[in-house]
Structure 1
Amino acid sequence: MYHPYFRGKQFELITIRETAGLLAASGFVPIIEPVKETLNGLNRALKAICEANGKAIVIVNPYHGDHAEDGAGISSLLKDGFLDKDGITAGILLKDGMTLDGVLEYYEEHKEHSPTFVHAGFTEPKALAEKLGNGLETTQHVFFEKHCGKLYRKHFKGSRRVLVRDGFQRRRNADHPPVEEFSDLHATYEEEDMDGFGDFLTVGDDFSEGGGPAYAVAIHLTFIDPDRDDVMYIYHFLSTTNDTPTDPAGKFGQALDKLIAKLDSGKSMLLEGDAIKEFRDLHAKGHFPGLGHVKKLSMKHHIETLANYFA
């Protein structure tokens, strides 16, 4: 049902590892696009998923990062380490400029890994659907909403279909409003005639290798509002100081103070799971764990929120 889309940076992979049990228990299937040359973190994340009897889709031809030109290392990892694991499948990213022949080549190469087609800019949906023919209904297709309108998705009716929407608005941290709408897809994907839905968690689809110095520090946390038809919203808790790129620890403290005040008001609607417990612990200790760790807690909380919603 839910397919969180991760770019395989260090803290994304740690998030997967730490939530592997919850992902599996909830029937959630992460999609991972490996972006780092070393695949040790990916290997550990996939092992954690297998140990939890979960599932994951691994992109074998990434668009971003160190494997963008050649995904052979990823294919080797899947073949050598996970061929006997039914839960780990290959994902083929159908990008702008890819030919039908190119797509089918990837499909044949990874056939034993029951590949999923991930549509992200491909322009020949009708030709692909016709080529798959009677085999279409045994395939799975994931659509990036910004590239795939209803007419595009219609060609793959009869197969298993998942719609991925980016609910995170990309802007400078300092420019975020205190709260805004994130998505309603968790509540409406069946209305869209889809079998599942996905998002890019609280990170968004825009990929960057590394962030520059943070002028403002933000903690991004999602919540579902039952009084508004279960729409999901996102809080942006921002540091008060944002005029220089110094003192990230102090700025994190300012943002965390705002988060704790909102929680203590009793009106936050934030799910108080493991991630919020850790934010409370960090506040009590006055500790700054680093911005990557903060991002990890934000993603973890998002997964916990959706798991609680579907429970």
Structure 2
Amino acid sequence: MYYPYFRGKQFELITIREMAPLLARKNFVPVIEPVREALGGLKKTLAAVCSGGGHAIVIVNPYHGDHQEDGTSISGLLQEGFIGSANIAAGILLRSDMTVEEVMACYRLHAAHHPVLVHAGFNAPKALATELEHDMSGLTNVFVEDHAKLLYRKHFDRSTRILVRDGFKRLRNADYPEMEEFSDLHVTCDDLGMAGFGDFLIVGDVYSEGGGPAYAVAIHLTFIDPDKDDVMYIYHFVSDTKDTPTDPAGKFAQALAKLIAKLDSGTSHILETDAVKEFRELHAKGHFPGLGYVKKLSMKHHIETLADYLD
């Protein structure tokens, strides 16, 4: 089972809404950390997930963005709009600054929302596992791999365990290599004793508000290589122009031309997903839809690629 981790920016939420039927069909469960103060887009997204018969986890105590000091409005949204819904779970983000007592207080507060623990820096796993002993068999624990190594995860081995790996190495757009390894968790999670796996898609775990001028434009596309044990790799198609903050449309055209050339080479291993078809249409029309839209297409392609692999 696949658990993609999204920060709740505009195009992340749009991606989930547009992919809701596929996510539900494949039993993929998006984890959403809301980072914007306005929750209208999140509410619309959760409604789309529910109407499609899917599931999602919403972080009620975000570490990043507008709700990092106070997540009560997120809890209120779940309470008002999704109480009693088995489709939406409250995710509790366990960071290094939380005590066992604080975790348990949040856990009890959201007992009606099927709480899921998301481990991302917490440092008292043994004490927490003792507190949760009677609930453990019915609990889902999501571990961000960089913060929860093997010994940490062993404390929760009677629960349903999900491992999230950040396969995206964030660099300046101009500095990306043409291709690099992304992850093998979709192949190895069973061997690691996990019931499922996740990632931060083609965005990565490093959070930024974004919005600065793009000196280079990069299109990130993942693919699974059957010749290399089905490991997932990622292409970075980067514009040739990298030394000026102007003309993002021209830079996108340069990056897109490289993507199309790789597709047409017949050796790319890139799956011809609906998102890739849309990249082809953009190339044929010579149209630049905006960088947020480009990121959305790359995220959709990533989900479609894993859906195809896991068929």
TM-score by length of 1: 0.99
* Match status 1:108 vs 2:108: yes
Q: What residue in structure 1 maps to residue 130 of structure 2?
A: 130
Partner amino acid, structure 1, of 2:142 = V
Q: 1:300, 1:139 → 2: CA distance?
A: 29
SS at match of 1:126: helix
Q: 1:5, 1:250 → 2: CA distance?
A: 31
Partner amino acid, structure 1, of 2:26 = S
1:41-60 → structure 2 map (5 Å cutoff): 41-60=41-60
| Structure 2: unaligned runs, 5 residues or longer | none
Q: 1:280, 1:170 → 2: CA distance?
A: 26
SS at match of 1:134: coil
Q: 1:162, 1:39 → 2: CA distance?
A: 27
* Match status 1:140 vs 2:156: no
Residues 218-259 of structure 1, C-alpha deviation per residue, up to 9 Å, x if partnerless? 000000001100000000000011011110000000000000
Q: What residue in structure 1 maps to residue 257 of structure 2?
A: 257
Residues 116-161 of structure 1, C-alpha deviation per residue, up to 9 Å, x if partnerless? 0000000110000001112211111000100011000000011000
Q: What residue in structure 2 maps to residue 29 of structure 1?
A: 29
1:218-297 → structure 2 map (5 Å cutoff): 218-297=218-297
| Structure 1: unaligned runs, 5 residues or longer | none
Q: What residue in structure 2 maps to residue 175 of structure 1?
A: 175
Q: What residue in structure 2 maps to residue 16 of structure 1?
A: 16
After TM superposition, give the deviation of residue 84 of structure 1 in Å.
2.6
* Match status 1:166 vs 2:161: no
After TM superposition, give the deviation of residue 92 of structure 1 in Å.
0.2
Partner amino acid, structure 2, of 1:268 = S
Q: What residue in structure 2 maps to residue 310 of structure 1?
A: 310
Identity %: 68
SS at match of 1:103: helix
After TM superposition, give the deviation of residue 32 of structure 1 in Å.
0.1
Partner amino acid, structure 1, of 2:118 = V
TM-score by length of 2: 0.99
1:67-78 → structure 2 map (5 Å cutoff): 67-78=67-78
Q: 1:134, 1:68 → 2: CA distance?
A: 30
After TM superposition, give the deviation of residue 209 of structure 1 in Å.
1.1
Q: What residue in structure 2 maps to residue 210 of structure 1?
A: 210
Partner amino acid, structure 2, of 1:38 = A
Q: Which portions of structure 1, spanning 4 or more consecutive aligned residues, are displaced by more than 3 angstroms?
A: none
Q: 1:210, 1:103 → 2: CA distance?
A: 31
Q: What residue in structure 1 maps to residue 189 of structure 2?
A: 189
SS at match of 1:240: coil
Partner amino acid, structure 1, of 2:109 = E
Q: 1:194, 1:270 → 2: CA distance?
A: 27
SS at match of 2:13: helix
SS at match of 2:275: helix
After TM superposition, give the deviation of residue 22 of structure 1 in Å.
0.5
* Match status 1:96 vs 2:84: no
Q: 1:135, 1:6 → 2: CA distance?
A: 27
Q: What residue in structure 2 maps to residue 84 of structure 1?
A: 84
SS at match of 1:207: coil
Whether contact under 8 Å (2:92, 2:118) holds in the other structure is yes
Q: 1:211, 1:306 → 2: CA distance?
A: 29
